[in-house]
Structure 1
Amino acid sequence: MFDVAKIREDFPILKRFVNGKPLVYFDNAATSQTPQVVIDTIVDYYSNYNANIHRGVHALSQEATDKYEASRIKIQQHFNAKHSYEIIFTSGTTHAINLVAAGFSEILNPNDEIIVSALEHHSNIVPWQMLCEKTGAFLKVIPMTEAGTLDMTIYHRLLNKNTKLVFCNHVSNALGTVNPIKEIIDAAHKIGAAVLIDGAQATPHIKPDVQALDVDFYVASAHKLCGPTGVGMLYGKQAWLEKIPPYQGGGEMIETVTFQKTTYAGLPHKFEAGTPNICGGIAFGAALDYMNAVGFEQIAAYENELLKYATEELLKIEGLRIYGTAPEKTAVISFNVGAIHPYDIGTILDKLGIAVRTGQHCTQPIMDFYNIPGTVRASFSFYNTKEEIDVMITALKKAVMMLS
Structure 2
Amino acid sequence: MALNSPWRAEFPGIRALEADGQTYLDSAATAQKPQAVLDALLAYLAGGVANVHRAQHLPGERATRAFEATRSQAAQWLNALSSDEIIFTRGSTESLNLLAYGLEHLLPPGAQIVVSAAEHHANLLPWQQLAKRRGLELVILPLDQAGSIDLNEAARLIGPATCLLAITQLSNVLGRWQPVDALLALAKTQGALTVIDGAQGAVHARPDVQALGCDFYVCSAHKLYGPDGVGLLYGRSEALAKLQHWQFGGEMVLDADYQDARFRAAPLGFEAGTPAVSAVIGLGAALDWLSRLDQTAAAHEAALHAALLAGLQARPGVQVLGEPQLALACFHVEGVHNADLAHLLSEQGIAVRTGHHCAMPLIKRLGLAGATRVSLGLYNDGADLQRFFAALDNALELLR
- Give the CA deviation at 1:187: 1.4
8 A Cα contact 1:142 1:151, kept in partner: yes
Percent identical pairs in the alignment equals: 38
Instruction: Kindly provide the amino acid, as one letter, of the partner of residue 71 in structure 1.
Output: T
How do 1:1-400 and structure 2 match up within 5 A? 4-17=4-17, 22-295=21-294, 297-326=295-324, 329-400=325-396
- 1:260 Cα offset (Å): 3.3
Cα shift at 1:175: 1.2
- Separation in 2 of the partners of 1:185 and 1:146? 22
Give the letter for the 1:309 counterpart. Answer: A
Letter aligned with residue 360 of structure 1: H
Q: Is the 8 A contact 2:174 2:322 kept in 1?
A: yes
Contact 2:342 2:352 in 1 (8 A): yes
The 2-side partners of 1:155 and 1:369 are apart by 18
Q: Find the aligned partners of 1:14 and 1:272 in 2 and give their Cα distance.
A: 33
CA drift at 1:270: 0.9
Task: Provide Cα deviations, 1:13-44, integer angstroms capped at 9, x if missing partner.
Answer: 112357x8632110000000011110111111
User: Number of paired residues?
Assistant: 398
Give unmatched runs, 5+ long, in structure 2: none
1:149 and 1:116 mapped to 2: Cα distance? 13
Instruction: Give the TM-score taking structure 2 as reference length.
Output: 0.97
**Does the CA contact (< 8 Å) of 1:175 and 1:333 recur in 2?**
yes
**Over aligned residues, Cα RMSD in angstroms?**
1.3
Distance 1:127 1:244 in 2: 15
Cα distance in 2 for residues equivalent to 1:234 and 1:304: 28
Alignment deviations for residues 83-131 of structure 1 (CA, whole Å, 9 cap, x no partner) = 1010000000000000000012111111111100000001111111111
CA distance in 1, matches of 2:61, 2:186: 45
Letter in 1 for 2:278: C
> Contact between 2:5 and 2:300, CA under 8 Å: does it hold in 1?
no
8 Å contact from structure 2 (residues 14, 379) kept in 1? no
Give the superposition deviation at 1:356: 0.3
CA contact (8 A) 1:167 1:196 kept: yes
TM superposition shift of 1:170? 0.3
Q: Which amino acid aligns with 1:385?
A: D
Offset of residue 298 of structure 1: 2.7
The answer to whether the 8 A contact 2:4-2:382 is kept is: no
Gaps of 5+ in 1: none
Distance in 2 between residues matched to 1:368 and 1:103, nearest whole Å = 31
The DSSP-based 3-state class of the residue aligned with 1:390 is helix
What amino acid does structure 1 have at the position aligned with 2:171? Answer: S
TM-score, reference length from structure 1: 0.96
Q: Post-superposition shift, 1:5?
A: 4.4
Classify 1:344/1:220 alpha carbon distance in 2 versus 1 (closer, same or farther; 3 Å).
same
**DSSP-derived class of the 2:251 partner:** coil
Q: Secondary structure at the match of 1:256?
A: strand
